[in-house]
Amino acid sequence: MLASRVVVANPSVDTMSTASENSAQIYLVKSSISVMEGLECVNHLNNILSTDITSLDKGMRMDGLICDSNGRVTDIVNCYHMGQSILIVGIDSNTDSTRELLTKGIPWNQNLSLLDGNGVLEHLRIIGRHPSSLVESLYPELSELSEHKYSEFENVVFSKFMHNEHEIIDLIVRSDNTDFYGRLERHDYKISKLEDWEFARITVGYPGSNEANTKFLPHDIGMINLISLNKGCYPGQEIHARLDSRSKPKKRMVVLATGDALEIGKHSLSDGNSVNVTSKALRDGLHLSMGICSVDVSNDATLVNCNGYSKLTLI
């Protein structure tokens, strides 16, 4: 897998269940794809991530957060240990800032380099009912996928992870992999458009560029599981430790299903709270929005001054 060098819900159902009730679909995800080469890759990355990845070894996948000095999330990354290199998949809009951070602070006695995989490699995700069955139909030769590990077959990297009780399968494939795209065509599988991925990620409550943008803490966007409080120093560690020891989280993520489109920004709720809508998407006449609100919000809260249907789901 070659790369080039970098120069520094339906209104009648719970929205959180729609992805698992619908047939599995393949989504194209606009991601930043980089490859870090060098023997000290894991240690260098561990100094940057809010997640302890010291146990990351060949054949493994671990996800992590990159936070700023104020403890706010700047990127969500998936790290694949390829042996002599680590494949790093992040959010596309954060490409420049993340790569700049990844290439800073490299000791003079460590030989590390960063390669650009954008354009050469593509990131796809499978979400829906029984996503593993879709992979099995495409690649009957492939062994069963397991969490925290990846499989590589015919120049495609396969991995599985869970998010909000939804099974999601990631594929990293070369853009010129005729075997992969040929298999899709023979099985009549279509790759959904980028805007469809936006709807799918909101459905399962997965943060995107509007949430991992230096405005929100890991608690706010439901990614506290990627914080390792017992590891060594990393950007934002003091803030995370202080929040853990002195106070409880104050915000949480929600998904809103509405009959009409919502504007990005602050909206009032019927229980006296408010929600800050960060992302929105439309598919098949259903408007979905992702937002951040107080942890005290009621599951029965509805939007104030909203014409028609509105349903809020806590994440």
pLDDT tens, position by position, 88-142? 999 999 999 999 999 887 766 678 899 999 999 999 999 999 999 999 999 999 9
- Judged against a pLDDT cut of 90, whether residue 4 lies above it is answered with no
Please state which of the ranges 96-110, 224-238, 284-298 shows the lowest mean pLDDT: 96-110
Per-residue three-class SS string for 146-172: CECEEEEECCEEEEEEEECCEEEEEEE
User: What are the helix and strand counts (H, E) for the chain?
Assistant: 7, 17
- What is residue 7's three-state secondary structure? coil
Q: Among 2-6, 54-58, 133-137, 153-157, whose mean pLDDT is lowest?
A: 2-6
CA distance 92 to 68: 18
> Does 264 have pLDDT greater than 90?
yes
Predicted confidence at residue 5, as pLDDT, reads 34
Architecture of domain 4-204: 2-Layer Sandwich (3.30)
Report residue 16's pLDDT band, with 50, 70 and 90 as the boundaries. Answer: very low
**What CATH homologous superfamily does 250-314 map to?**
Aminomethyltransferase beta-barrel domains (2.40.30.110)
**Average pLDDT, stretch 186-206?**
94
Percent of the chain, pLDDT > 90? 74
Confidence (pTM)? 0.90
- Evaluate whether 128 touches 22 at the Cβ level (below 8 Å): yes
- Our measurement of the distance from residue 68's CA atom to the centroid of its chain's CA atoms, rounded to an integer in Å, reads 18
* Residue carrying the six token digits 């005729």: 178
**What are φ and ψ of residue 214, in 5° steps?**
70, 10
Beta strands (DSSP E) in 181-309 are: 191-192, 251-258, 265-268, 274-283, 286-294
Q: What is the mean pLDDT of residues 278-306?
A: 92
- How crowded is residue 189: how many other Cβ atoms within 10 Å of its Cβ? 16
| Positive/negative CA dihedral, 61, 201, 32, 1 | positive
**What's the burial of 301, exposed, middle or buried (CB within 10 Å: 0-12/13-18/19+)?**
buried
Break the chain into its structural domains and give their ranges: 4-204, 250-314
**Per-residue pLDDT, 21:** 54
E runs forming strands in 9-101: 25-29, 31-37, 61-67, 73-81, 85-91
In the predicted model, what is the mean pLDDT of residues 41-52?
Answer: 93
What integer is the mean pLDDT of 41-65? 95
218 pLDDT more than 70: yes
**What mean pLDDT comes out for the span 264-275?**
95
Report strand pairing: 73-81 vs 61-67: antiparallel
Q: Which run of H or E residues covers position 313?
A: strand 310-314
Average model confidence (pLDDT) for the chain? 89
